[in-house]
Amino acid sequence: MSDTTHIIITLLLAIVTAAYVFLRRENEGPGPRKFPIFGDLHYSPVDKPLINWDAWAKQNGPIATAKLFGIVPIIILNTSEVVTELFNKRSQWYSNRPRSVRMEMMTGAGPGKSKFTLLHDYDADLQLYHRILSPTIGAPSTPRYKPLMELESLQLLVDLVALAERNEDHITSISTVYPLFERTQGSIIMSLHYGMRIPTCEETIIHQVVNMQAKLSHLLAHPGLPDSLPALRHLPALVSPWQRHANNIYNEQTKLYMKLMNHGRQCEGWNATKQITEATEKQAQDPQISDLDLSFVLATSIQGGMDTSPRQILWLFAGLVQNRAFLKKAHTVLDDVVGHDRLPGFPDRPKLSLIDAAVHELLRWRPVAPGSVPRRADRDDDYKGIKIGKGTMIMANAWAIGRDEAVFDPSLGSLDDYVPERWLIHDGNNGQPKLRRDLPLAAFGQGRRSCLGKKVALDGMFIQVARLLWAFDIEPVEEVDSWKMDVVGLMIMPNDFRFKLKPRSIWAEATIKQEWNKADGH
């Protein structure tokens, strides 16, 4: 079939879709105000895409109803109470995902069977994948990954000191430091899963992984015509530009993930690939999990953690520029607990609740995925008189949940401000503050679809933030508006700004270099 024929078919399908959308809007008349989801942010300033979310949540109450792209019914959950009720207590009806036809096509999968575990329905296959993954990223693997996190966070400090030494004024920017945090997270994931350290930001493999992740994130945030007309998935590649594109992406992923898995199997020492390969022999039923499926399961951490944690930590710089008093408090606590002749480590954590509070507050204040990953209602339901139709897309609004005054006490500081102390409770017996465990971390999801890598993510951010605050002073050099942010796929990150990142003293640089020289095999 000629290219001209392809173009004509595409145009005809586009015209049919446009007519369908127009007629639906005309017949329905005025509807609820659109909610800013998946790029539908036109009610907010372009550079401040979330500035109106609080107002929308307060206007609509615990549950807001809207139409995605004007045609797809969607319900947004704005409070911790309603999310707990639906996603935890009624999880049997709210644990599957809405159809993402194009993303399924890009993994050669049928409805509900995406090889991206994040988008896979909660069925027997996914439960098996979770059982296989859990031992490698949960509590049992802690002794293996904590030393790795300490090594990678040490190199992060070395790289940041080198960056500071290159500039006499110590001025840097968000865009300059981001690759260093990206390398740190990438090396943790690649070492843990495949036995492959990433010693520099220039390694070819890290660019391949990051570029693939960026491509997939962009496609997930911008649904295509097959998502509106699912029947298009059945057209053969000969006449379907969407299928040809999906096949190309699928082949790229397959080549990359199989290469990583094979490396993990062949390299020396422990890694998650080896452990999971052994686990599949014990847990999988007939038929066995194919190597291809296993390679995508192993890539789950790449898809879920490669860019989320680095972008989350970037918000620390915006928070500290806004809240200079907290930085001074953190310096005092770290000096008292750790001193100047060694770096903070995981054994110090029981006395560093303030650092855990700093991490938790980042996740509340600026969740990098504020709209979360959607669920699907699998039956008609009712919540306090609000009807929820079977098949409706449901989203937990992590942004609004983090500003839920029924949960987070605004008297401790405005919920629009970065105030880590709101996560602390003081023990009357010894005066040592403890981290509050009763407050929600909506960034990691809820119920059966909660993030499997939550502990790994929190541990990684703890050690990086603790060491960053121990080593550096962070000062503003220009006015920073923390409402200004960049939307990258479905995530947000700070708009680029400059700040001063300076080692606190000669002792900080000396200790970092000494620890690096002692590190084994870096």
Full 3-state SS string of 163-220: HHHHCCCCEEEHHHHHHHHHHHHHHHHHHHHHCCCCCCCCCHHHHHHHHHHHHHHHHH
Residues 157-182 pLDDT 10s? 999 999 998 988 999 999 999 999 99
488 sits in which H/E element: strand 485-488
Q: What is the C-alpha separation between 276 and 87, in angstroms, rounded? A: 29
pLDDT value of position 23: 36
Helical segments of 299-391, H only: 300-305, 308-322, 324-337, 353-365
Query: Among 296, 413, 292, 411, which residue's Cα sits nearest to residue 361?
Result: 413
> Half-sphere exposure of 244 toward its Cβ, with a 13 Å CA cutoff?
6
Judge whether 380 lies within some domain.
no
425 sits in which H/E element: strand 424-426
pLDDT value of position 58: 77
User: By the 8 A CB rule, do 313 and 181 touch?
Assistant: yes
Under DSSP, the state recorded for 230 is G
**Count of Cβ atoms closer than 10 Å to residue 338 Cβ:** 19
Query: Among 125, 126, 121, 123, which residue's Cα sits nearest to residue 103?
Result: 121
Alpha carbon 252 to its chain's center: 22
Exposed / middle / buried, residue 238 (Cβ in 10 Å: 0-12, 13-18, 19+): exposed
Query: Among 29, 241, 87, 178, which residue's Cα sits nearest to residue 486?
Result: 178
Query: Among 418, 485, 349, 370, which residue's Cα sits nearest to residue 46?
Result: 485
Q: What is the C-alpha separation between 236 and 217, in angstroms, rounded? A: 25
Judge whether 185 lies within some domain.
yes
Q: Please state the domain count of the chain.
A: 1
**Helix pair angle (142-166, 506-518), 10° resolution:** 130
Judge whether 409 lies within some domain.
yes
User: By the 8 A CB rule, do 67 and 401 touch?
Assistant: no
Coil, helix or strand for 113? coil
pLDDT value of position 46: 52
User: What range does the domain containing 139 cover?
Assistant: 94-367+402-518
Judge whether 54 lies within some domain.
no
Under DSSP, the state recorded for 89 is I
User: Helix and strand tally (H, E) in the chain?
Assistant: 19, 13
Backbone angles phi, psi at 58, to 5 degrees: -70, -35
Residues of the chain whose pLDDT is less than 70? 1-49, 51, 53, 67-71, 283-287, 428-430, 520-522
Alpha carbon of 173 to those of 132, 381, 468, 484: distances in Å?
40, 49, 15, 15
pLDDT value of position 34: 38
Query: Among 308, 247, 310, which residue's Cα sits nearest to residue 118?
Result: 308
Judge whether 311 lies within some domain.
yes
Judge whether 385 lies within some domain.
no
pLDDT value of position 27: 40
User: By the 8 A CB rule, do 334 and 466 touch?
Assistant: yes
- The DSSP secondary structure of 423-460, one letter per residue, reads GEEE-TTT--EEE-SSS--GGG--GGGS-TTHHHHHHH
Judge whether 173 lies within some domain.
yes
What CATH number has the domain bearing residue 513? 1.10.630.10
**Count of Cβ atoms closer than 10 Å to residue 260 Cβ:** 23
Judge whether 105 lies within some domain.
yes
Query: Among 100, 75, 154, which residue's Cα sits nearest to residue 371?
Result: 75
Q: What is the C-alpha separation between 296 and 78, in angstroms, rounded? A: 33
